[in-house]
Amino acid sequence: MDAFRQAIHLLITLDPELLQILGVTMRMSFFSTTISCLIGLPLGTLLGTHSFRGKAFLKKLLHTLMGLPPVVAGLLVYALFTHYGPFGTLNLLFTVRVMVIAQCLLITPVVTGLCASYMEQSATGILETARGMGLPSSRVLLLCLSESRTSLLSVVLNAFGRSIAEVGAVSIVGGNIQWKTRVMTTAIMLETNKGNFSFALALGFILLLLAFLVNVAASLIVKEVRYA
Amino acid sequence: MKKLLAILLAALLVLSLAACGSKTETDPSATQSEQSSEVANTTIRLSTTTSVNDSGLLPYLLPVFEKATGYKVEVQSAGTGAAIQKAIDGNADLILVHAKASEEEFIDGGYGVERLPFMYNYFVIVGPKDDPAGIADCEDAAAAFAKIRESESKFISRGDESGTHKAELKIWGEDAPDASKDAWYISAGQGMGACLTMASEQQAYCLTDKATFLSMEKDLNLGLLLEKGDDMKNTYSLIAVNPEKIDGLNVDGAKALIDWMLSDEASELIAKYGQEEYGVSLFYLLEK
C-alpha cells in the first residue's frame, strides 16, 4: 500500500518536519494528560467515595461536560484568549500552551467521571480497610489511588488517547502554524484538505504507532511499580 | 454537607489555577523561543487564505524574506472569511486575501490601513472530462454557470465564505442556486482540496483557483474546462491591520513584509512560481 510505504519512508529518513510535529504532539499530549489527571484523579476519587447533597447534580454536570464537543471547547478558549478577550494580554493564542489549556477543559471531566465511576464500583473494600486501620481522610485518598493504579492507568491512557487524537479544539486555538503549533491531527487534516490522501494516511499510521508505543511504555512502568 | 461541596469547588478552582501556573513554569523549553521572539518583535503574524499557502507559494517565498530580514512569519491559513475575522479579533498583523468586497468592508470598519492589490490569477472551472453540460466553449463563467444550471449538472460549492466561495456567488448573481432546493447544487463547506476531491468522486463541476487544481490534477478525474473569462479574474491584496484600531501589532514587521512582497525581488519570484513544476505561471503581477 502506498500510504504504508510513505509512512516507512518518512520514519526511515527522519523527516525533520515530521520529527518536529511529533515533538509538539508529544509535548502537548503529555502536559494535557498530566494536568488533567492531577486535577481529575483526586477529584474523581473524592466524588466516588463520598456522598453529599448535590452529588447527583454534580455528576449530571460532569457527564454533560464529558460530552463537550472539542470545537466548542476550542471556541470557548479562543474567546478567552483572543487579543481582546479577558486573557488576551497573556499573548497565548496560537501557542502550544493554549492548546494544552483547551485540551484540559476537554479531558479533565472525562478523567474525573471515569475515575469516580471506577471508585464507586470498587473502592468500598479499600475504604473499609482504611477505616478499620483508622487512617486520616487524606491518607485514605492516597490509598484509594495507589490501590487502584492499574485500573487508573487505563483512565490515564484514555485521557492520553483523547489528547493525541483531538483535532477540533487544537486547530482553532493553535492555528495549525507550521513549525510551531502543527500537531499530527492538524497535519493530517491539512493534507486531507489538500487532497493528499495517501500522505495523510501515512501520517495516520505514524500517529497510531506513537499511541501504541506510549501504551506499551505505560504498562511497563506500571508493572515495574507493582513488583518493585 | 454543603461545606464539602464548597470545599470541592474551591479545590477545583485552586487546582486549575495551580495548573495554569505550573504550565507556565514546567513548559519553558516549549515556549521560551516564542516568548523571546515576541519581546524582540521579530514575529509577524500573517493571516491568509488557503490558496496562497496550500498551493506552496508562501512556503516558497517566505524563507527568502525571513533570511533577508531576520523576521519570522507565522502563517495561519483559512478561508478568506476566517482569515479576515482573525485580524478583526486582533490576532494578526496583516492579511493576504482575495475578496474585494470583504476587504473593503474590513477597511471601512477601520481595521485595515490600505488595500494593496498586487497579484492575480484566474479562477478556472473544472468538471467531468466529457463535459456533459457543454461549457468548454463558453465566453465566461456566467455563461458556463447558466449551462450547468440548465442541465442541472452536479456542482460543488465551497460554501464556506471563502474568497472562492464569494467569487462563485458573485458569478451566479442574484439568483444563486439554493442548496436546500436544488439537488444538483452541493454546498460542501470544506477547503478547496476537499471540494475538488468531492467533485472528482461525484463527477461534478467546481470553481477553483488554478494553483490548487494543478497541484492535485494527477489524483483527480477532472478536466480543466474553462479559464480566463473576464469574470474569473482573482485579485490578491495585502492589507496591514490598522494600529489605531488594534493594539499590540507588529507594525514594523507588517510593513517590512508588505514592502518586500511588493519589491522587484519578490515580483520576480512570484512570476516564476509554477514554471518549473507545471510549465505555467500560477500567479501574475498587477501593473504597478
Q: In this predicted structure, what is the pLDDT of residue A226?
A: 66
Question: What is d(CA A164, CA A65) in angstroms, rounded to the nearest whole number?
Answer: 19
Beta carbons of B219 and A50 less than 8 Å apart = no
Q: Is residue A89 part of a domain?
A: yes
B34 touches chain A (CB under 8 A): yes
Q: Tell me the fold of B122-232.
A: D-Maltodextrin-Binding Protein; domain 2 (3.40.190)
In a domain, A14, yes or no: no
pLDDT digits 0-9 by tens, A83-132 = 889 998 898 998 999 999 999 999 999 999 999 999 888 877 788 888 78
Query: Residue A180 above 80 pLDDT?
Result: yes
Chain B: closest CA distance from residue A118 (Å): 19
In the predicted model, is pLDDT for residue A76 greater than 50?
yes
Number of helices (H) and strands (E), helices first, in chain A?
Answer: 10, 0
CATH label of the domain that carries residue A163: 1.10.3720.10
- Above 60 in pLDDT, residue A177? yes
Position B13 scores a pLDDT of: 44
Highest mean pLDDT among A25-34, A52-61, B212-221, B224-233: A25-34
* Contacts (Cβ under 8 Å, ≥6 apart) of A75: A172
Radius of gyration of chain B (CA): 23
Q: Say yes or no to pLDDT of A174 above 60.
A: yes
**How far is it, in rounded angstroms, from Cα B267 to Cα B273?**
10
CB contact under 8 A, A193 and B34: no
> Does residue B201 belong to the interface with chain A, where contact is any CB pair within 8 Å?
no
- The per-residue pLDDT for A155 is 93
Nearest to B89 among A31, A43, A83 (CB): A83
Contact B168, A166 (CB under 8 A): no
Say whether residue A148 is in contact with chain B using an 8 A CB cutoff.
Answer: no
Record: contact A195-B190, CB cut-off 8 A: no
From chain B, the residues in CB contact with A93 under 8 A are 91
Q: Is it the case that residue A75 has pLDDT exceeding 60?
A: yes
Average pLDDT per block of 10 residues along chain B, 288 residues long: 48 44 39 44 92 86 95 91 92 95 95 95 95 94 95 93 91 90 89 88 93 87 91 94 94 96 95 89 86
Biggest alpha carbon–alpha carbon distance for chain A: 64
- Cα A44 from chain centre: 15
Please report the pLDDT score of residue B288 as a whole number: 67
ipTM above threshold 0.90: no
Q: Is any Cβ of chain B less than 8 angstroms from the Cβ of A113?
A: no
Domain assignment present for A16: no
- pLDDT bracket for residue A223 (50, 70, 90): confident
For residues A162 and A107, is the Cβ–Cβ distance under 8 A? yes
First-to-last C-alpha distance (Å) of chain B: 75
Question: Is the Cβ pair B8, A180 closer than 8 Å?
Answer: no
In angstroms, the separation between the Cα of residue A44 and the nearest Cα of chain B is 11
Helix, coil or strand: residue A180 = coil
Contacts of B189 in chain A (CB under 8 A): none
**In a domain? residue A80:** yes
* CATH ID of B41-121+235-285, from 3.40.50.2300, 3.10.310.10, 3.40.50.1370, 3.40.190.10: 3.40.190.10
Gap between the Cα atoms of A163 and A27, Å rounded: 11
Q: What is the reported pLDDT for B6?
A: 52
The DSSP string of chain B is -HHHHHHHHHHHHHHHHHHHHHHHHH-HHHHHHHHHHHHHT-EEEEEEEHHHHHTTHHHHHHHHHHHHH--EEEEEEE-HHHHHHHHHTT--SEEEE--HHHHHHHHHTT-EEEEEEEEEEEEEEEE-TT-TT--TT-SSHHHHHHHHHHHT--EEE--SS-HHHHHHHHHHGGG---TTT-TTEEE--S-HHHHHHHHHHHT-EEEEEHHHHHHHGGG---EEEEE--GGGEEEEEEEEE-TTTSSS--HHHHHHHHHHHTSHHHHHHHHHTTHHHHSS-S-EEPP-
Contact of A177 with chain B, judged by CB distance below 8 Å, is answered with yes
One-letter amino acid for residue B24 of the chain: T
Write the DSSP symbol of residue A82.
S
A177 Cβ contact list (under 8 Å, min separation 6):
A94, B74, B75, B76
The domain ranges of chain B are: 41-121+235-285, 122-232
Q: Do domains B41-121+235-285 and B122-232 have the same CATH topology?
A: yes
User: Number of structural domains, chain A?
Assistant: 1
* The pLDDT of residue B109: 95
Eight-class DSSP state of A217: H
Domain that holds residue A79: 23-182
CB contact under 8 A, B197 and A190: no
- Per residue in A181-195, pLDDT (tens digit) is 999 999 998 888 777
The contacts of residue B57 (CB under 8 Å, 6+ apart) are B211, B270, B273, B282, B283
Cell 507556565 locates to B24
pLDDT of residue B54: 76
- Given CB atoms, is B45 within the 8 Å cutoff of chain A? yes
Residue A156 near residue A33 (C-beta atoms within 8 A): yes
Which of B16, B23, B29, B54 is most worth mutating to test chain A (most A CB atoms within 10 A of its CB)? B23
pLDDT of A227? 64
**CA distances in angstroms from A90 to A84, A97, A99, B243, listed in the order given:** 11, 11, 14, 19
In a domain? residue A52: yes
Q: What is d(CA B112, CA B104) in angstroms, rounded to the nearest whole number?
A: 9
